[in-house]
Chain A
Amino acid sequence: MIILNGNKTNGFEKLSVLELVRKNGYRTERIAVEYNGSILPKSEYKTTVIKENDVIEVVSFVGGG
């Protein structure tokens, strides 16, 4: 079990952060990911493997300003 955007979720362990992002339909160029309290660089999405008890926040931006 991990915590994704404040909710307990199963099924993402052993996947990469990039796979989680894609499975949830996010557009990688419009997001920021906080992984266990720190912003995860985009270059590390593919190589970071999700494990039990990870806390992940994905923020997706929309246009306008």
Chain B
Amino acid sequence: MLSEMEKSFIERHTKEVYEKLKSARVAIAGLGGLGSNIAVSLTRAGVGNLLLIDFDKVDISNLNRQQYFQRNVGQYKTEALAEILKEINPHINIEYKPVEITENNVREIFGEYEIVCEAFDKAENKAMLINSLADKIIISGSGMAGCKSANKIKTRRAMKNLYICGDEASDVGVDGSLFAPRVAVCANHQALMAIRIILGKEDV
């Protein structure tokens, strides 16, 4: 029995697209500026299964770019985001783990998920994820700090299984602080690439 939302989705996108997205499984590593935006976009776009991972709690300073609200301050990001996503689509399946990802647990954490959106803040952790999950499709975010033109943000297929979204140059702290729109542009490059892959388009 389809809900109103699912019926309207099928009307706009066709049943075939709806089913591909609904059965898709995407993991999101990090639920900050990139991760929370990726999660919201994928949920709105109809992705049916998400794995959310972040060890942190929502801080008031996060609200400048992350998809949390005043009421979420102090809550674990995993829990807060799961609640928010279910308010968008009550039918979405969400698995979450409030843990820190390290070299020692990374393979176990991602299990059978084939598409992983890398949404960490530290460059070292971004590299660690790519080096540890060589067999999975990774869509990474690198370079979205500061206020330079959003036109510099691109999606590039850097390796067979690695897509990089961002300007690949603007380093937080060095090149500026993080502004909501520029971070969201990068995050949505990642979300769109995930959707494209789910629908069978591997090119950028």
Could you tell me which A residues sit within 8 Å of B by CB distance? 29-32, 34, 37-39, 41-42, 57, 59-65
Contact B171 A65 (CB under 8 A): no
Cα distance A34–B144 when bound, in Å? Answer: 24
User: Using Cβ atoms and an 8 Å threshold, which residues of chain A touch B171?
Assistant: 62-64
Question: Can you name 10 extra interface pairs (CB under 8 A) apart from A30-B124, A32-B131, A61-B123?
Answer: A29-B127, A32-B130, A57-B159, A62-B169, A62-B170, A62-B175, A64-B144, A64-B171, A64-B172, A65-B126
Could you tell me which B residues sit within 8 Å of A by CB distance? 30, 32-35, 119-124, 126-127, 130-131, 134, 140-145, 158-160, 162, 164, 166, 168-173, 175, 178, 183
Contact B127 A65 (CB under 8 A): no
Contact B141 A65 (CB under 8 A): yes
Q: What are 25 A-to-B residue pairs whose CB atoms are below 8 Å?
A: A29-B124, A29-B127, A34-B159, A39-B130, A39-B159, A41-B131, A59-B130, A59-B162, A59-B164, A60-B168, A62-B142, A62-B166, A62-B169, A62-B172, A63-B145, A63-B171, A63-B173, A64-B141, A64-B145, A64-B170, A64-B183, A65-B33, A65-B126, A65-B141, A65-B144
B127 to chain A, nearest CB (A): 5
User: Using Cβ atoms and an 8 Å threshold, which residues of chain B touch A65?
Assistant: 30, 32-35, 119-121, 126, 141, 144, 183
Chain B at the A interface: SS class: loop
Number of residue pairs A-B, CB distance < 8 angstroms: 80
Cα distance A39–B35 when bound, in Å? Answer: 24
B84 to chain A, nearest CB (A): 18
Cα distance A31–B168 when bound, in Å? Answer: 12
Residue of B nearest to A38 (CB): B134
Contact residue among B162, B166, B169, B172 (Cβ-Cβ distance under 8 Å from A32): B162
Cα distance A42–B172 when bound, in Å? Answer: 25
Residue of A nearest to B176 (CB): A64
Cα distance A64–B141 when bound, in Å? Answer: 8
A49 to chain B, nearest CB (A): 20
Contact residue among B35, B131, B159, B172 (Cβ-Cβ distance under 8 Å from A63): B172
B174 to chain A, nearest CB (A): 8
Give the top 7 A-B pairs by smallest Cβ distance, nearest first.
Answer: A64-B172, A39-B134, A62-B171, A61-B126, A65-B34, A61-B123, A32-B130
A23 to chain B, nearest CB (A): 19
User: Using Cβ atoms and an 8 Å threshold, which residues of chain A touch B144?
Assistant: 64-65
Contact A64 B121 (CB under 8 A): yes
User: Using Cβ atoms and an 8 Å threshold, which residues of chain B touch A57?
Assistant: 158-159
Cα distance A63–B124 when bound, in Å? Answer: 8
